[in-house]
Chain A
Amino acid sequence: GNSVTQMEGPVTLSEEAFLTINCTYTATGYPSLFWYVQYPGEGLQLLLKATKADDKGSNKGFEATYRKETTSFHLEKGSVQVSDSAVYFCAPTSYNTDKLIFGTGTRLQVFP
Chain B
Amino acid sequence: DGGITQSPKYLFRKEGQNVTLSCEQNLNHDAMYWYRQDPGQGLRLIYYSQIVNDFQKGDIAEGYSVSREKKESFPLTVTSAQKNPTAFYLCASSATPSTWASYEQYFGPGTRLTVT
Contacts and interface: CB of A to CB of B under 8 A. Distances in A.
Interface residues of B, number: 29
A32 B103 CA distance: 9
| Count class of interface residues, chain A | 20 to 34
Interface string A10-40: 0000000000000000000001101010000
A101 B50 CA distance: 17
B58 to A, nearest CB: 8
A43 B109 contact: yes
Interface in A77-108: 89, 93, 98-100, 102-105
Given A98-B97, A102-B43, A104-B41, A43 B107 contact: yes
Nearest to B48: A99
Contacts of B106: 46
Nearest to B41: A104
A87 B30 CA distance: 28
Contact of B102 (A42, A45, A51, A89): A51
A32 B109 contact: no
Interface in B46-105: 48, 50, 58, 90, 92, 94, 96-97, 101-105
A105 B42 contact: yes
Given A32-B102, A98-B94, A104-B40, A43 B45 contact: no
Nearest to A9: B40
A98 B56 CA distance: 13
Given A43-B90, A43-B109, A99 B45 contact: yes
A74 B104 CA distance: 18
Nearest to A44: B107
A102 B35 CA distance: 10
A36 B106 CA distance: 10
A89 B42 contact: yes
Interface of B: 4, 6, 31, 33, 35, 40-45, 48, 50, 58, 90, 92, 94, 96-97, 101-110
Interface of A: 31-32, 34, 36, 41-46, 49, 51, 89, 93, 98-100, 102-105
10 contacts: A32-B102, A36-B107, A43-B107, A43-B110, A44-B43, A46-B105, A98-B31, A98-B97, A103-B42, A104-B41
